[in-house]
A = this chain, B = another copy of it.
Amino acid sequence: MADVALKSIIEAALLAAGRPLSLADLENLFSEAERPPPEDFQRAFAELAEDCRRRPVELKQVASGYRLQVREAFSPWISRLFEERPGRYSRALLETLAIIAYRQPTTRGEIEDIRGVAVSTNIIRTLLERGWIQAVGHKEVPGRPALFGTTPEFLDYFNLKEIGDLPSLEALIDQLDQPSLDALQQPSQASSDADPQSSQQTP
């Protein structure tokens, strides 16, 4: 034991455990006969914290003990490790978004009436998280359901100056008979279809 530094054993244990370790946990790495006294542990913690200054991790004391954690400064790179790249949005979500845009303020119940199927809580949450819709109030009916409307972020994302830039309901209904939707790429939406989103999108 003498030739292996206590701070190295502590570092090894914190790295291998993957959870915070209390002083007692660390003491239990040693048989009773070999267990260093508490002051040695304190000194080793100080040494380890000092070593970490040149490294991308830091020694933190949290409620349940000591742990090593990646420094926040490494977020720009490390966050990419954890990025989830979600697939495309479901059709149900896009329908819900469109109904909210055209029918705002509207409730989940009304959306369900129009779509003829239930709207999952997940869809509403995703749209709220994305910042495209907001609850603007409650409808005074039993249950007081939330009324949803679109946000300025919604307009920004789709490159609309105002909601009136969306094609009118009449225009959409008139085009129902046309099999092709090219007609939808009308001047008013030209901006959206020229897909400036892609440039706008950079995270």
Taking chain A's interface residues, is the majority helix, strand, or loop, or is none over half, making it mixed?
helix
Least CB separation from A30: chain B residue: B77
Number of interface residues of A (CB under 8 A): 27
As a 0/1 sequence over residues 58 to 89 of chain A, the CB contacts with chain B under 8 angstroms (1 = contact) are 00000000001011011001101100000000
Are the CB atoms of A78 and B11 closer together than 8 Å? no
Q: Residue A4 at the B interface, CB < 8 A?
A: yes
**Known A15-B57, A57-B15: A9·B81 in contact at CB below 8 Å:** no
**Known A4-B73, A73-B4: A78·B12 in contact at CB below 8 Å:** yes
Are the CB atoms of A77 and B18 closer together than 8 Å? no
Q: Can you list 25 A-B pairs, Cβ within 8 angstroms, ordered by A?
A: A4-B74, A8-B56, A9-B56, A9-B74, A9-B77, A11-B55, A11-B57, A12-B56, A12-B57, A12-B70, A12-B78, A15-B15, A15-B56, A15-B57, A15-B70, A16-B74, A16-B78, A17-B81, A18-B18, A25-B81, A28-B80, A29-B77, A29-B78, A29-B81, A30-B77
